[in-house]
Amino acid sequence: MVPQEEHKRITRLRRKRERDRRVQSILEAARRVFFTRGYLKATMEEIATLAEVSKPAIYHYFRTKDELFFSLMVPVVDCFQKELEKIEKRVVKRAYQTGEELVRDLFQGFFSAYKKDPESFQVVQLFQQTGMIGELEERVGGLLNQKGAEAFRTARRIMSLGMEQGLLRPMNVFALTDAFWGFFVGVIQLERIKSPRSSPAPYLRSTVLTAEKIFGRGVTGKAGQPASPEREAL
């Protein structure tokens, strides 16, 4: 016979696995509904149906639609923040020999973060572009704004250090950071618009590489080198 304490431990682990699977199922369903229907039109009933759970089951884990949406968005923002933190550590250690290397890692890091969850990234972007952040509960909207602001602060520190070390040309760091983000997001959105039914978009990788080279030449003032074969693995 299984000892009582061991039986309790196994039961707790099983319940946790079941809970995690249920929450993940709800998040996956929410991602699909938010992506296809938009935030305002999405309903908890639709999400419950797609997740194959009851509506009360969703409210057991997420008190409101805003909280569910927040839980979906946070991992996306956190993923980009982690990539930025990795790059910041390298800049602080003066690991970059050229500005092109720094720009390469910025684009590669962001593209890597994007590829982990393209649909959630699109949901986040559509939400921001349509000004829907104001429709969220004040607490939820405030937390999302804080996370976004933190990512931009990290990016600005990277750009500032790059200028101090002579890797990047001196310019307004706020404008430079916004320009980088605009370059990256613009490429993603354009290729998605051109190929809405293709996943991934067929020319996305090569377009990101081209954007990287153009941006790198602009902020470093150098012609740069052609992408090496291994760069195509981006």
State yes or no: pLDDT of 229 exceeds 70.
no
C-alpha Rg value of the chain to the nearest Å: 21
Residue 170 has pLDDT above 90, yes or no: yes
For the ranges 15-19, 111-115, 134-138, 182-186, the lowest mean pLDDT is seen at 134-138
Structure tokens, 133: 């952040």
Tens digit of each residue's pLDDT (9 = 90 or more) over 118-167: 877 877 776 666 556 666 777 777 887 888 899 999 999 999 999 999 99
Question: What is the structure's pLDDT at 150?
Answer: 93
Distance of CA 84 to the CA centre of its chain: 11
Nearest to 207 by CA among 218, 195, 197: 195
Residues 6 or more apart from 227 whose CB is under 8 A from it? 209, 213
From the CB of residue 200, how many other CB atoms can be counted at a distance below 10 Å? 13
Query: Is 111 a residue whose pLDDT tops 90?
Result: yes
- C-alpha to C-alpha distance for 104 and 87, rounded to whole angstroms: 11
164 membership: H or E segment, kind and range: helix 138-164
> pTM for the complete prediction?
0.76
Mean pLDDT rounded to a whole number for the chain: 83
> Which pLDDT score, from 0 to 100, does residue 223 have?
41
Domains and CATH numbers, the chain: 1-62 (1.10.10.60), 65-233 (1.10.357.10)
- At 80, list the tokens: 């980009």
